[in-house]
């Protein structure tokens, strides 16, 4: 639960900074893609979300439990295609190996 509180604090601080500097940011979701990752977390890997989207996802307490996902701030619309292609390939490989 401590990790979850740190995640929420990080989101809050990033959102405050974005407003302060008039930046439109989103968060690139990064699943750990470990063997015990839940599919609903892996599906989010490589997708870009708002703070509200992330908080809504974590409002389901089951999504918090043992979650090892992270996210990286990105300027909205500025995620390089090459990165997204690589991340989506990782996700597809995980799904293939764990289905």
Please state the three-class secondary structure of the chain as a single string.
CHHHHHHHHHHHHHHHHHHHCCCCEEEEEECCCCCCCCHHHHCCCCCEECHHHHHHHHCCHHHHCCCCCEEEEEECCCCCHHHHHHHHHHHHHHHHHHC
pLDDT in tens, 31-73: 999 999 999 999 999 999 999 999 999 999 999 999 999 999 9
26 φ/ψ angles, rounded to the nearest 5 degrees: -135, 180
Q: How confident is the model over 78-95, as a mean pLDDT?
A: 85
**What pLDDT does residue 46 have?**
92
- Whether the per-residue pLDDT at 1 is higher than 70: the answer is no
**What pLDDT does residue 82 have?**
80
Q: Give the 3-state secondary structure of residue 58.
A: helix
Confidence (pTM): 0.79
């Amino acid at each position: 639960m401590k990790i979850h509180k740190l995640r929420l604090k990080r989101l809050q601080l990033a959102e405050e900074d974005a407003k302060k500097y008039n930046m439109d940011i989103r968060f690139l979701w990064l699943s750990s893609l470990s063997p015990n990752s839940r599919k609903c977390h892996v599906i989010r890997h490589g997708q870009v979300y708002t703070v509200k989207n992330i908080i809504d996802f974590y409002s389901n307490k089951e999504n918090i439990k043992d979650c090892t996902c992270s996210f990286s701030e990105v300027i909205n619309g500025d995620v390089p295609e090459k990165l997204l292609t690589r991340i989506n390939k990782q996700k597809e490989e995980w799904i293939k190996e764990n289905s």
